[in-house]
Amino acid sequence: MYDKMAVIGDKDSIFAFKSVGAEVYGTNNPLQARDYVKMLAKNGIKLIFITEDLAVQMEDLLLKYKSKTYPTIIPIPKQGKPTGYGMKGLKKDMEKAIGADILFRD
């Protein structure tokens, strides 16, 4: 499993990732998604995509991993239902890293 990417979310939103070699974990259950994140991190997965609806429900766990180099956990929109949660996090991370909002400029 080392150096691979994984995707967690509802099957409709994550199915396409399988075609690019990602490990996919289909669930709508936030408790099961938490278990998947912990297992994947323990097994050396470096990049985890998770649908925004699940990420919102486990923000405390994602913050724990945010201070570590790996895994990088990136929220992605659920198919047809973007919430903007992932973009808000990206904006915040960019401002922290660079000191200014160079991408979004609200």
Q: Is residue 87 part of a domain?
A: no
Q: How many CB atoms lie within 10 A of CB 103?
A: 11
Kindly state the DSSP code that residue 99 receives in the 8-state scheme.
S
Taking a C-beta distance cutoff of 8 angstroms, is the pair 45, 1 a contact? yes
Nearest to 50 by CA among 80, 76, 27, 82: 76
Q: Is residue 67 part of a domain?
A: yes
Number of separate domains in the chain: 1
Q: Is residue 106 part of a domain?
A: no
Q: Is residue 101 part of a domain?
A: no
Query: Is residue 72 scored above 60 in pLDDT?
Result: yes
Token pair 């709508």: residue: 28
Q: Is residue 95 part of a domain?
A: no
- In terms of residue numbers, what domain contains 38? 5-81
Q: Is residue 41 part of a domain?
A: yes
Strand-by-strand arrangement of the 23-26 sheet: 23-26, 5-9, 47-51, 72-76
Confidence of residue 66 (pLDDT cuts 50, 70, 90): confident
On average, the pLDDT of the chain sits at: 83
Q: Is residue 21 part of a domain?
A: yes
Return the pLDDT at 102: 63
Task: Tell which wins on pLDDT, 4 or 100.
Answer: 4
User: CATH number for the domain including 48?
Assistant: 3.40.50.10580
Q: What is the dihedral sign for C-alpha 22, 26, 30, 34?
A: negative
Q: Is residue 91 part of a domain?
A: no
User: What single letter denotes the amino acid at residue 58?
Assistant: M
